[in-house]
Structures are given as C-alpha cells and as structure tokens.
Homo-oligomer: A and B are copies of this chain.
C-alpha cells in the first residue's frame, strides 16, 4: 500500500517497523529516545524494542497513560529526562503510543532546545487516523484540551496494523468516530462503505483512505485558517462533553464516544441551520446510535458544557463557532451557534 506524502514527510503503511529501523539507522542521530506509556510499554514497545535491539544508542522514557496526564507537568518531566540523558540537538524522539503520546511527545520535541527531530508511531486507531497528519502538537492546561502546542511536522509516521490487534473494542470505536467524520464532511461514498463494513477492526484500506482525506484537507490549510476547520465537525460540542466526562465520570468517555455525541448534536444543528435534510439527520443518528452507547446529559450540566465550549480554541470574538453539514459529504465552516441552540441540540440528544 502506497505511503501518503504529507507536508514534507511520508506516512508509511507497509513494512512499517523495518522502515522505522532503517530510518533510525540512516538518520545520523546522536541518540534516540522512545517515549511511551505503560499500556504501550506492555503491548507495543516489545515489538519495536526487538526490532531496534542491535542499536545501543537509545533510552526509553515511560510516562503514565491517560489524557489526564497530557499536561505541562509531564512535559517538564520529559524535558528533564532529556537533559539528564544528555540529549543534544541531533537527538531523535520516537513517539510510540496513542494520541496523548504523539501530541505531547511532539510538543516536547518541538520545544526541546528549540526543536529536535521526532517521528510518530501511533499505536491506536484514533491516533493513526487523527494524529498522524496535520502537524498539531499539544498539551492540556486546566483540563482545556490542547490549549498549548505548536504546528510542527514529524520527520515520518509509521503505521503498523499489528498494534491494533491488542486494542480493546472501545478503543477501536474511538478511532472509528473520526473515520466516520471524514466520510460525513467530504466523502459520502466513504461513509457508505464504512456503514456496510465489518467495523470490529477496520481494514488497512479503510484507515489509509481516512488518512488520505485528512491529509488532503490539512495540506490545503496547515494552520487552520479556513477549510481545515471542516475537521472540527462534532468537536465543538464533543470536546465539551469529553472535558465534562473527564472531570466527572469514574470511567470517562473515550474521545470517539464524545465526538459521536458531538456529531449527533451538530447534525441536529445542521438540520436547523444549514439545511441538512431530515433523512440524512436520521441516517447519522441511526449509524452512530447503533455503534455508540447513549450517554446521559442532564439539564444541570448544560451551563458547564457551554462554559467549556466558550473556551474552545476555534472561537473568535467571543462567538462559539461550529462546523456543520449541508449534506452528508459536504461541510460548512464558521457557523456561529448561540447558547440556546447549543443547549437545544444537547437536549435533543438527551431525549433520543
């Protein structure tokens, strides 16, 4: 399967682990560092470590897993480790893990000594289809997602499907939400294919197409000034629900579960504001409702959810900005949504 060329770097789909080894061997790096978390350390690190065993110039930096650890304190910890290991400007970071590791590792690398090289080895479906192209790095502050970060491209991305086999079904569903979104915003045919596929473990072809769609969008608008906002469909409300759940639930929603809720709410808003046809709204609700469990949203939580939306990075001039659909496969950016409308969309979801 062909690699995808993104902004100055390849996303490699075939023989990814041997290709990673070749990259490291030929890269003339002074030393390399594998950033990983305890989950990845257990399931994926052994594969990479075995492949790299003949090299001796590397260290492993393991951090705690989970979105709640994607904060600046963890970055400080990793920076200090790089200092202690004597990492110089010709060091390489290999970010091996899900989105927390690739986002945070990318930020750490892009700011250490004003920037060292890094590569991404995403090990979850979500990070493969969402974090592998686009050059966004980021960490959370005060629970606000990715409020701090940079736009910095990795040197390469290595996609290995062997990592996906160890993922629990909920993690697969989490990534699937982004794939469905890619269909909804620009590719009706891809949406139709996904609907009728076995989605318990999406095929590499389906993943490839998802990365291709995202890549086409980000290449046209690397710094999210215009059409890249298409990718935010479902995310204004979805991020708020995700933050709420992270702060309130013992077993918080996954990113994809929250985005699925956001997509239903924003499909309803699309029906109200940008003429998404009724039958397409129903189709979206049926597909997402069939895949994701229903989540209870109470009237009391609405003010806090709105507050989270008000802190969204995409807002301008104090207005809450949504990407909506005009049809399945067609998006519309920069739709200002008022508090009433947003609350009504959440009420609509709650009553489903």
Contacts and interface: CB of A to CB of B under 8 A. Distances in A.
Contacts of A311: 83, 86
Given A30-B316, A315-B88, A316-B30, A115 B151 contact: yes
Interface string A69-96: 0001001100110010010111000000
Contacts of A170: none
Contacts of A317: 30, 88, 90
A200 B146 CA distance: 47
B147 A79 contact: yes
A113 interface: yes
Copies in the complex: 2
Interface string A125-140: 0000000000011100
Interface string A290-330: 00000000000000000000110111111000000000000
A144 B83 contact: yes
A316 B141 contact: no
Interface of A: 30, 72, 75-76, 79-80, 83, 86, 88-90, 107, 110-115, 136-138, 141-142, 144, 146-151, 223-224, 310-311, 313-318
15 contacts: A72-B75, A80-B142, A83-B142, A86-B318, A88-B316, A89-B313, A89-B314, A111-B148, A111-B149, A111-B150, A112-B148, A114-B136, A114-B150, A114-B151, A115-B150
